[in-house]
Amino acid sequence: MTSAPRADGNTANFSPAVLAGGLIFVSGQASVDEAGSIVSGTFSEEMDRSIDNVRRILGEHGLDLGDVVKVGAYVQDPADLVEFNKRYRDFFAPPLPARTTITSCLPDTIKFEIDVVAAVRT
C-alpha cells in the first residue's frame, strides 16, 4: 500500500501501485494533492505535480524515474503536446522509456495524467 494521493479520496477502485513479476505498475497520477483534491494550474504545473506523485510512489519502493521502462501519458489539449514533449526530457533521460501518448481523453478538470511501469532493481 502506498500513501500516494488519490483523486476525490478514491480508495476503493484502484491500487496506486502493484508489484508483479519484477515490475511496479503505477496507476494514473494527476495533479492531486495529499487530500485527494485536484490542483488546477498551467499544463506545466499539472505535469510537475503528476510526476511528483509518481516519484513518491516509486520512492516508496526504492525506485526513481530512472527505473521507468514504460510511460502512458494523457494530455487533454493537443495544443499542449509541444510543451509536454519539451518538458518530458526534464524527467526522463536516454534511454527513454517506451511511451504511449493519448490526447483529448481527460475530463475538463485536469490537463495531464501519467501512468508508468518501472523495473525493480536487482
Per-residue pLDDT reduced to its tens digit, 38-95:
999 999 999 999 999 999 999 999 999 999 999 999 999 999 999 999 999 999 999 9
80: its cell numbers:
499542449
What are the φ and ψ backbone dihedral angles of 78, each rounded to 5 degrees?
A: -55, -25
CB neighbours (10 Å) of residue 95? 7
Confirm whether 61 is domain-assigned.
yes
CATH, residue 59: 3.30.1330.40
Confirm whether 63 is domain-assigned.
yes
Q: If you ran DSSP here, which 8-state letter would residue 16 be given? A: S
Confirm whether 110 is domain-assigned.
yes
For residue range 1-50, what is the model confidence (pLDDT) as tens digits? 455 655 555 555 788 899 999 999 999 999 998 888 899 999 999 999 99
For the chain, the domain total comes to 1
Whole-angstrom distance, CA of residue 105 vs CA of residue 65: 24
pTM above 0.85, yes or no: yes
Confirm whether 62 is domain-assigned.
yes
Confirm whether 98 is domain-assigned.
yes
Confirm whether 11 is domain-assigned.
yes
Confirm whether 19 is domain-assigned.
yes
Domain holding 47, by residue range, is 7-119
Confirm whether 105 is domain-assigned.
yes
